[in-house]
Amino acid sequence: MSATSTSALAQAKNKVDNLSENQIGLLLILPLAVLLMVLYLYPILRGFVFSLQEVSLFATDPAWIGAQQYIDTVNSSRFWNAFENGIIYTVGSVAVTVVVGVGTAMVLNRSFFGERFVTGLILSPYMIPIVGIVLIFRWLFNGLNGAANYVFIQLGFVNEPVAWFSSSTYAMPMLILISGWALYPFVCMLVLAKLQTIPDEYYEAANLMGASRTRQFVSITLPQLKSVLFVAILLRMLWTFNLFDIIWLGTQGGPGNATETLPIMAYRIAFDGLRLGEGTAVAFLTFVVLAIGTIIYFRSFGERSA
Amino acid sequence: MINSAYEPVQEVFKEIFNEFEDQEGNVKVEYNRVDFADAPQQAAQAQAAGEPWDVMNLASPGNNVTAAQEGLLQPINDVIDDRGVDYWNEKAMFQLDGDYYFAPHYGSVIKLNYRVDMFEEASAPMPPFDNWEQYMTAAEMLTDTSQNQYGHPVFLGSNHFHGVWPMMLTMMNGGGVVNPDGDIVFDSQETAEALQFVKDMDQYSPESAHNSSIPNMRPPLYQGQYAMTWYSTNQVAADIANYAPNLQGDVQVTHVPSPGNNDPVARMTGTGYGVSSETEHPEVAKRLVKYITEPENVVRMLTANPTAKIPMVKGVLEEDRMWENETIQEYEDLYRDLVGMAEDYGRIIAVNENPETVNPITGRALSETMVVGAAQDVVLKDMDPMDAATKWADRMREEYK
C-alpha cells in the first residue's frame, strides 16, 4: 500500500471518528433511505403527478389539468357509490372476522383432544390462495347448479335457485362471507396469543366471587383483549377497504356497480378505460379516505385501548 | 414482439420465430405474451424506456388503433403494398389518415352458439332467425324454469366484452354510438328499442347470467341450462372435446339476428400486427410481420387451436394443410359457417362502427362500459330505455368532448 493511500485512509477514519452519534446513525441508514426513496417514494410521487394529468395508459403526451380529476371524481355519483360499498364491505367483513376470530380463539384457548390438529385446520383458510377460496365459493354458490342452491331447495329455504353472485341483494353479503371466512384466522391467532397471557388467577378469583361466564368474558377477557383488538380491527379495516382480489374474482364489482369499491373503480378506470390519470386520482382519494378513517378510529378508540 | 395469443398458439409463435431467426441469420426475436389489460401499458412503457417492442399486436382493435393514434406505431404501407391490399380480408383492413398500420393474420367473430338437440326437443324454430320476434319466440319455448333451463342468457358484466351484444343489437336496429361525422348519437329511438329488446330477453334468462364472468358464458350451454349463448372466439370444438364429447354435432353456430329490417352485424377482431414508430430495426420488423402473415403460418396458428379463430388472410381455407387437421375436418360445416358469417356480416365495430370511418370513441364507450351500463340500467334498475340511452349519451358527450 502506498504512503498516499495510507494517509487518505487515516484521514477518512479520523473523519468518521469525529462524527457525532447522530451523524453516524444517519450515515448508516442512508443506503436504506435511498433505496426506499427509489422503490417507494418515487412511484408514489410519480402516481401523484399522473393524478394531476390527463394521461392514457399509453402514457403519451400527458396534459396537465391540475386537480380537475379529483374534483370530477368527488362530484360523481360513482365515487360515492363505491365509497358506500367500501364502507359496507369493510364493516361487514371486519365484523365477521372479529366475531368468528374471537369466538374461535376462545375455543382454541381450552385444552382438548386433537387441539393441535383443530388449530391447524382453523388456520387453513389463511394458507389457501385467495383465488382458490373464491373459486370454491363461486362453485358452491353457482346461481344455476351450485350445491348450496340444491341444499337450500331441498331444505325448503328457497323455491328456486338464487343468483348469489349476480343479484344486487346477495352479491355484497357473499363477498363479506368469503372475506370473513378467508381472513378470520388472522384475528383468531392474535386474540389466541393474547388470551394465553391472561393469568388464570383472574378467572379463579371471579369464580370464587360467583361471576358467570358471560360476566367473566365482559369484565376480564374483553378488557384484556382491547389492545390486540384495536390493532387487529385497524389492520383489517385498512386491508379490507383496500382489498381487491376477493371482489374482483367474486363479482368484478357487479352486478352493475353493486359491489364496486374504490380500488375496483380505480382499476376499471385505469385498465379498462385506459385513463391512467383518473384511475390514479381515485387511488389517491382512497388513501385520503383511509387516512381520515384511521385518524377518526384513533381518536375514538386509541386511548381507551392503550 | 408482443401479443396476447392464447396458450396453444404461443407455442406456434415460438416455432415461427425460431424459423425466422434461422432464416435471418443474425436476428433474435424476444417474445412477450401479455394479458389483454396489460398490453397497452407494457407497450407504452417499453417505448418510453427507449426499448420498444419492434412488432406489436395489443390484443384488441381499440388498443391497436389507439396505439397508432398515440404515435406508438409507424405506417407499414410498404408491407401492405408489397403483398397487395387484396391479400387480406378487406373488412379487417383500414387506414388512419391514409396510412396502413396493421397487417391482419387472424381474428374472431361474435356468433350465437345453440343446441340443436334442445331446439328439437322443444320444437322451437331453428336458427338462423330472420328477426327478433323469432328469436324471442324460440327463447320463450326453450325456457323451462322448473328444469333450470333458459332460452338465452342476458350478460350484464361490467367489462368491454359484455357491451358488445347490446352494441351489435343497437347497430342492427339502425342506431350507434357515433355517426360518420363523429357526433354522439347513442340517445336514439333505435338504441332505446335495442335496450328494450335486451330487457324483454331477460324474461328468458337466469338472473345468475347477469354477472357471469367471461369464461363462464359457455359452460351452461353444454350443461343444458342455456339453449343459446353468444361468444367471440369459437371454442366449440375444444369445449366439446374437453367437457362434453356426447354433444358433438348438437352445438352449431349462427349469426346474432337483426330485427329484420337491417342486415345483421357480427363484431369482428383481427386488426393484426404493427411496427413500432421507434424501432431500431424497421426492416427486420416488417419482414417479421410479413412472415407471420404468410398463409402457411396463419394456417399453423389456426390449427393450433382448431376452429377457434378465423383467417384474415385470403385463401387460407384453400390451403391443404388447413384441412389435414382432424378437428377442422370434423367441424368443417361449423367452421365454414363461422368464416361465412365474418365475410357476410363481420365488422370491426370498436374502431370502425361506420364503414370507412375510423373513430376512437366507440371502442372507448365499449371498454369504459358505457354501452353495457345502459343495458344494466334498463334491466337491473328498471330504467326507461330512452332515459338510459340519454343518460349514457350525455356521459359520452361529457367524456369525449
Q: Are residues A58 and B160, on separate chains, in Cβ contact within 8 Å? A: no
Task: Report residue A37's pLDDT band, with 50, 70 and 90 as the boundaries.
Answer: confident
B223/chain A closest Cα distance in angstroms: 10
Q: Are residues B208 and A57, on separate chains, in Cβ contact within 8 Å? A: no
Q: What is the pLDDT of residue A273?
A: 79
The nearest alpha carbon in chain B to A267 belongs to: B37
The nearest alpha carbon in chain A to B226 belongs to: A144
The nearest alpha carbon in chain B to A268 belongs to: B368
Interface of A with B (CB under 8 A): 56-61, 142-145, 160-161, 163-168, 171, 251-258, 260, 268-269, 271-276
β-pair type (B346-347, B266-267)? parallel
C-alpha torsion angle, residues A141, A147, A148, A150 (rounded to 10): 130
* Among B47, B45, B36, CA closest to A50: B45
Task: Report residue A305's pLDDT band, with 50, 70 and 90 as the boundaries.
Answer: low
Q: Are residues B157 and A143, on separate chains, in Cβ contact within 8 Å? A: no
CATH topology of domain B111-267+348-399: D-Maltodextrin-Binding Protein; domain 2 (3.40.190)
Q: Are residues B158 and A60, on separate chains, in Cβ contact within 8 Å? A: no
Grid coordinates given for A77? 355519483
Q: What is the pLDDT of residue A12?
A: 80
Mean pLDDT of chain A: 90
β-pair type (A63-64, B2-3)? unpaired
Chain A positions touching B157 (Cβ under 8 A) are 252, 254-255
Which of A69, A78, A272, A280 is the best residue to mutate to test the B interface, defined by the most B CB atoms within 10 Å of its own CB?
A272
Model confidence over A137-187: pLDDT tens digits?
Answer: 999 999 888 999 999 999 999 888 899 999 999 999 999 999 999 999 999
Q: What ipTM, to 2 d.p.? A: 0.80
pLDDT exceeds 70 at position A1: no
User: Please, which residues bridge with residue B73 across strands?
Assistant: B276
Q: How many CB pairs under 8 A join A and B?
A: 110
Q: Are residues A144 and B213, on separate chains, in Cβ contact within 8 Å? A: no
Interface of B with A (CB under 8 A): 37-38, 40-41, 43-45, 48, 63, 66-67, 70-72, 145, 148, 156-160, 206-213, 220, 223, 225, 364, 367-369, 373, 376-377, 380-381
Rounded to a whole number of angstroms, the distance between the first and last alpha carbons of chain A is 60
> Measured between CB atoms, which of B148, B160, B211 is closest to A272?
B160
The answer to whether the beta carbons of residues A273 and B66 sit under 8 Å apart is: no
A54/chain B closest Cα distance in angstroms: 12
Q: Are residues B70 and A56, on separate chains, in Cβ contact within 8 Å? A: yes
Residue B283: how many other CB atoms lie within 10 Å: 10
Chain B positions touching A269 (Cβ under 8 A) are 368
Q: What is the pLDDT of residue A262?
A: 97
B57/chain A closest Cα distance in angstroms: 14
pLDDT exceeds 60 at position A306: no
B33/chain A closest Cα distance in angstroms: 17
β-pair type (B251-254, B111-115)? antiparallel
The answer to whether the beta carbons of residues B71 and B229 sit under 8 Å apart is: no
Q: State the residue for C-alpha cell 385520503.
A: A288
Model confidence over A241-283: pLDDT tens digits?
Answer: 999 999 999 999 989 889 999 999 999 898 877 888 999 999 9
Give CA–CA dist B375/B14, Å, rounded: 41
Q: Is the dihedral of CA B133, B137, B139, B145 positive or negative?
A: positive
Task: Report residue A4's pLDDT band, with 50, 70 and 90 as the boundaries.
Answer: low
Q: What is the DSSP string of B34-83?
A: --TTTHHHHHHHHHHTT---SEE--SSHHHHHHHHHTT-EE--HHHHHHH
What are the start and end residues of each CATH 3.40.190.10 domain in chain B?
2-104+272-342, 111-267+348-399
Give CA–CA dist A295/A236, Å, rounded: 15
Thinking of the domain B2-104+272-342, which architecture would CATH place it in? 3-Layer(aba) Sandwich (3.40)
Establish whether the linkage from the previous residue to A255 is cis, with ω within 30° of 0: yes
Q: Are residues B40 and A143, on separate chains, in Cβ contact within 8 Å? A: no
Answer CATH for A68-302 from 1.10.3720.10, 2.60.120.560, 3.40.50.10140, 1.10.1740.10: 1.10.3720.10
Q: Are residues A252 and B158, on separate chains, in Cβ contact within 8 Å? A: yes
> Measured between CB atoms, which of B37, B43, B381 is closest to A271?
B37
**Helix (H), strand (E), coil (C) string for B363-397:** HHHHHCCHHHHHHHHHHHCCCCHHHHHHHHHHHHH
Q: State the residue for C-alpha cell 320444437.
A: B123
Chain B positions touching A59 (Cβ under 8 A) are 41, 44-45, 48
User: Please, which residues bridge with residue B275 across strands?
Assistant: B55, B74
Chain B positions touching A166 (Cβ under 8 A) are 207-212
Residues ≥6 apart with Cβ < 8 Å to B29: B1, B17, B20, B21, B288
Residues ≥6 apart with Cβ < 8 Å to B227: B114, B115, B118, B119, B122, B124, B138, B139, B142, B149, B150, B151, B152, B221
Q: At what angle do helices B370-380 and B164-172 cross, to 10 degrees?
A: 90
pLDDT by 10s per residue, chain B, length 401: 999 888 889 999 999 999 999 999 999 999 999 887 788 888 988 888 889 999 999 988 888 988 898 899 999 999 999 999 999 998 899 899 999 999 999 999 999 999 999 999 999 999 999 999 999 999 999 999 999 999 999 999 988 899 999 999 999 999 999 999 999 999 999 999 999 999 999 999 999 999 998 888 999 999 999 999 999 999 999 999 988 999 999 999 999 999 988 999 999 999 899 999 999 999 999 999 999 999 999 999 999 999 999 999 999 999 999 999 999 999 999 999 999 999 999 999 988 898 888 888 898 899 888 999 999 999 999 999 999 999 999 999 988 87
Which of B38, B41, B146, B208 is the best residue to mutate to test the A interface, defined by the most A CB atoms within 10 Å of its own CB?
B208
Q: What is the pLDDT of residue A160?
A: 85
Q: Are residues B72 and A60, on separate chains, in Cβ contact within 8 Å? A: yes
Grid coordinates given for A231? 390493532
Residues ≥6 apart with Cβ < 8 Å to B88: B80, B103, B104, B293, B312, B313, B314
pLDDT exceeds 90 at position A57: no
Q: Are residues A145 and B148, on separate chains, in Cβ contact within 8 Å? A: yes
The nearest alpha carbon in chain A to B379 belongs to: A256
Give per-residue burial for A161-191: e unless 16+ CB within 10 Å, then b: bbbbbbbbebbbebbbbbbbbbbbbbbbbbb
> Measured between CB atoms, which of A144, A165, A256 is closest to B220?
A144
B340/chain A closest Cα distance in angstroms: 31
Q: What is the pLDDT of residue B267?
A: 95
